[in-house]
Structure 1
Amino acid sequence: MSNYFNDIHDQARLSARKFVATHVLPYIDDWEEAGEFPRDLYREAGDAGLLGVGFPEALGGSGEGDIFLKVVVSEELMRSTSGGLVASLGSLDIGLPPVAKWARPEIRDQIVPPVLRGEKIAALAITEPGGGSDVANLRTRAVREGDHYIVNGSKTFITSGLRADHFTVAVRTGGEGHGGISLLLIDRDMPGFATGKKLRKMGWWASDTAELFFEDCRVPADRLIGAENAGFIAIMSNFLAERLMLAIMAYMTAEIALEASMAYANERLAFGRNIAGFQVTRHKLVDMATQVDVAREYTYRCAALMQAGKNPIKQVAMAKNFAVDVCEKVTREAVQIHGGMGFMRESVVERLYRDAKILSIGGGTTEIMKELIAKQIKL
């Protein structure tokens, strides 16, 4: 593996691998076809300590600061072969950090521990219809009236949107631009909140994705996360960890596709020998392996910078873009190596190929990442 990991990380890896082998892999094909997985899996993951990685011990987590503990658990969860399952099971990783860091203590202590135990589900709601990556111009508005905010607007493409209990929602409380954005913690049962039907997607089938609607939704004022009109800073700080996780999802999707392709190439016979015996196939596999290794190691370097307390905005954006590009190339080649079988839904590379595409969109599109990098290198 790598010098980035220690014995504790190795133990966590084995624990997560056992969880996936026992609780996920025997059922994942059925869950993919059904478009969802049992809610009980959250509690099982909570019992295994997988949901609390990176959260404060005082709130029921494993402790803060060890980025590589999160890396190993994320890598092993991706061994489920389902990016959708990992995204929904891990929606707390983007929805809950602002609550844990900036919500009022009494709200934080009420909300965070049950989510880490898998008893409740948390999600993040930022994206709006027609808005996409243009976070600074979101339109969902929250107006203060006495002890409540009255929220009107909608969100879309929200992971865990159908069954999350708590949503960290970006709203406009002030003027135009990033300076007028706040975060509110909105519960499913609050008056004026509603969800649309489950959204049908190209990939991530097992992921619960939905639209959210707010019509005069009454949210207690103490559900404000952090200071009013300071939500954009919290959103941006959250993006760094999210983009690192997306880079991990990308190189792991590619790695699983590579492993499946190597196994298939050594089994599939053509013209009297296995297809790994042809130079064109061997070289293709070599190129795939090289790309996966480079994507993984650069992502590890970004994680090390974060572990050291740095703020590697440029590097993480580069890592995400590079890993996603590798993912799309490797999964495409994996389908090609599998031939007709690669086009069949019973083949894991078919799923990986579909799942790969969303990674260049989520957490900020490839194009947005390039603009971010351009600013960092002063273009």
Structure 2
Amino acid sequence: MTDTSPDRIPFSEPPYLRGLPSPYITPAHLRFQQACRKFATENLIQHALQWEREGTVPAHVFDTFCKHNMLVPNMPAPLPVDWLKRLGIHDILGVKVEDWDYIYTGIYCDEMARSGLSGPGGSLNAGFAFGIAPIYKFGSKQLQERFLPELLTGKKRGCIAITEPEAGSDVANITTTAVKSADGKHYILNGSKKWITNGIWSDYATMAVRTGKPGAAGLSVMVVPLKGHPGVIMRRLKVGGQITGGTTYIELDDVKVPVENIIGREGDGMRIIMTNFNHERLVIAVGVTRQARVALSAAFSYCLKREAFGKTLMEQPVVRHRLAKAGAELESTWAWVEQILYQLTHLSKEEGDRQLGGLTALLKAKSAMVLNECAQTAVLLFGGAGFTQTGQGELAEAILRDVPGARIPGGSEDVLLDLSVRQLVKLYQAEEKKLSKIAKI
């Protein structure tokens, strides 16, 4: 049996797992964490590095996770309880689906990233995390009936397809077109999508397309068939990190999609996409903060035993200084992660989006910077071993290659830094306007 007990190496675990009091974690949360760690360790974490070397997570792993409802936690909280119960999904490792909150989500995402690699977990969860929610939040009843039963149970796989070769963070300038056929029964899609996680294995994509004029107002979102569908060509892309994530290039050549596949209405695309981004950015922030933990604690452990110049690395002040700087960034970021998870648990969806959208964008950008700091620190302290794709520094080297996959997707770093401040200014101006009206009464 694999040991799933908390690691005692400094920086290796969140404070609540080091026996420190937490205002956020209840006994029920802790019971789920223990069950989640056991399941994830046995079915993913202990094999993750080997699968990353090989380039693909075996297909049976996705089936195992679905069989135990262990991809459902990737969806935004609260979960779509009515749909889940209708499909026979009543609990997740003992947690009733109606009791699920964002603290559970944070615990789950943290445990899924405990290998230190984002690729293995990412090979399983992109459809559930980002592709399904727009269907049950904005889709018609008829659309939900057609797609949710198979997607929520894992009988079919999905992905989110926003990014294009010339339009990544610049969502408003997406160029993939969806033009209605002469008989009005189909949209005809032409264009391409790039860097689509899980695309190569997906039956459907929740896809952003242009149904109208240039700019944000012309965007729509629809469910697009992928595997085996006429006019769809997919090829897997070679990327520097997240090797197992199934990053895919999708070409669309006169692809026919029923008009009933649109999510919401024509022109609703930007609103749907931006709302979806808040959850994406949050779960990325949780995962990469755990990756940073794995990198820094591995370096800490190495420095306790590695000797140079007649003493261990840990006895060198410069080494302790590096560990301290990275550790301060790591623990500060985790405290912020927990704070936002708690706030989302106690705010309505509308208030959470309004008040925390900008801060979540900032958190995602900051967490990726912290991952970069911790991964760089680990590689430097491992020395030559940290520059080698085998041996005791192999994991640190692999985590450093994952860093761009944290800093770019979900809105690239510089875009999110700017977006966060613009959102905060907008919120401030709205509050000032409200106070001004009150003062005039």
Asked if 1:239 is matched to 2:277, the reply is: yes
The CA deviation at 1:189 is 4.5
SS at 2:245 equivalent: coil
The answer to whether the Cα contact below 8 Å between 1:265 and 1:274 also exists between their aligned partners in 2 is yes
Q: Per-residue CA shift, 1:296-343, capped at 9, x if unaligned?
A: 111222222322222212211221121111110110001111111111
Aligned to 2:437: none
The answer to whether the Cα contact below 8 Å between 1:190 and 1:217 also exists between their aligned partners in 2 is no
SS at 1:128 equivalent: coil
Of 114, 137, 142, which residue of structure 1 is paired with 2:150?
A: 114
Of 334, 341, 344, which residue of structure 1 is paired with 2:385?
A: 341
TM-score (norm 1): 0.95
Aligned to 1:36: 56
Task: Name the CA distance, whole Å, in 2 between partners of 1:324 and 1:89.
Answer: 21
Q: Per-residue CA shift, 1:202-242, capped at 9, x if unaligned?
A: 10011101111111111111111111111110100000011
Counterpart of 1:80, as a letter, is: S
Of 120, 127, 137, which residue of structure 2 is paired with 1:101?
A: 137
Of 235, 255, 271, which residue of structure 2 is paired with 1:217?
A: 255
Task: Name the CA distance, whole Å, in 1 between partners of 2:282 and 2:99.
Answer: 16
Counterpart of 1:296, as a letter, is: W
SS at 1:132 equivalent: coil
The CA deviation at 1:63 is 4.2
Matches within 5 A, 1:263-282: 263-282=301-320
The CA deviation at 1:113 is 3.5
The CA deviation at 1:30 is 2.6
Matches within 5 A, 1:18-167: 18-53=38-73, 54=77, 55-60=79-84, 62-63=97-98, 66-92=101-127, 93-145=129-181, 146-167=184-205
Task: Name the CA distance, whole Å, in 1 between partners of 2:41 and 2:423.
Answer: 42
Aligned to 2:233: 195
CA 81–120 in structure 1, closer or farther in 2 if over 3 Å, else same: farther
Q: In terms of mean alpha carbon deviation, does 334-343 or 262-271 score higher? A: 262-271
Of 321, 332, 341, which residue of structure 1 is paired with 2:376?
A: 332
Task: Name the CA distance, whole Å, in 1 between partners of 2:237 and 2:227.
Answer: 21
Counterpart of 1:59, as a letter, is: W
The answer to whether the Cα contact below 8 Å between 1:59 and 1:109 also exists between their aligned partners in 2 is no
The answer to whether the Cα contact below 8 Å between 1:152 and 1:215 also exists between their aligned partners in 2 is yes
The CA deviation at 1:59 is 2.5
Aligned to 2:210: 172
Q: Per-residue CA shift, 1:178-219, capped at 9, x if unaligned?
A: 111111101225743423321011100111011111111111
Aligned to 2:242: 204
Task: Name the CA distance, whole Å, in 1 between partners of 2:157 and 2:255.
Answer: 20
CA 240–211 in structure 1, closer or farther in 2 if over 3 Å, else same: same
Counterpart of 1:180, as a letter, is: G
Q: Per-residue CA shift, 1:339-360, capped at 9, x if unaligned?
A: 1111121321111111112211
Q: Which has the larger radius of gyration?
A: 2
Task: Name the CA distance, whole Å, in 2 between partners of 1:65 and 1:182.
Answer: 30
Asked if 1:250 is matched to 2:275, the reply is: no
TM-score (norm 2): 0.82
Asked if 1:298 is matched to 2:336, the reply is: yes
Asked if 1:11 is matched to 2:46, the reply is: no
The answer to whether the Cα contact below 8 Å between 1:342 and 1:349 also exists between their aligned partners in 2 is yes
Counterpart of 1:134, as a letter, is: D
The answer to whether the Cα contact below 8 Å between 2:169 and 2:415 also exists between their aligned partners in 1 is yes
The answer to whether the Cα contact below 8 Å between 2:161 and 2:193 also exists between their aligned partners in 1 is yes
Task: Name the CA distance, whole Å, in 1 between partners of 2:248 and 2:205.
Answer: 12
Percent same amino acid at aligned positions? 29
Task: Name the CA distance, whole Å, in 1 between partners of 2:186 and 2:265.
Answer: 15
Counterpart of 1:213, as a letter, is: E
The CA deviation at 1:149 is 1.1
CA 133–108 in structure 1, closer or farther in 2 if over 3 Å, else same: same
Task: Name the CA distance, whole Å, in 1 between partners of 2:225 and 2:116.
Answer: 31
The answer to whether the Cα contact below 8 Å between 1:44 and 1:118 also exists between their aligned partners in 2 is no
SS at 1:253 equivalent: helix
Of 359, 366, 370, which residue of structure 2 is paired with 1:315?
A: 359
The CA deviation at 1:115 is 2.8
The CA deviation at 1:20 is 2.3
SS at 2:244 equivalent: coil
Q: In terms of mean alpha carbon deviation, does 226-235 or 53-62 score higher? A: 53-62
Task: Name the CA distance, whole Å, in 1 between partners of 2:302 and 2:156.
Answer: 41
Give the ranges of 4+ consecutive aligned residues of structure 1 lying more than 6 Å apart after TM superposition: none
Task: Name the CA distance, whole Å, in 2 between partners of 1:32 and 1:290.
Answer: 29
The CA deviation at 1:294 is 0.5
> Which structure 1 segments of 5+ residues have no match?
none
Aligned length: 379
The CA deviation at 1:109 is 3.4
SS at 2:243 equivalent: coil
Q: Per-residue CA shift, 1:30-69, capped at 9, x if unaligned?
A: 3112211112211211223221124312322634861111
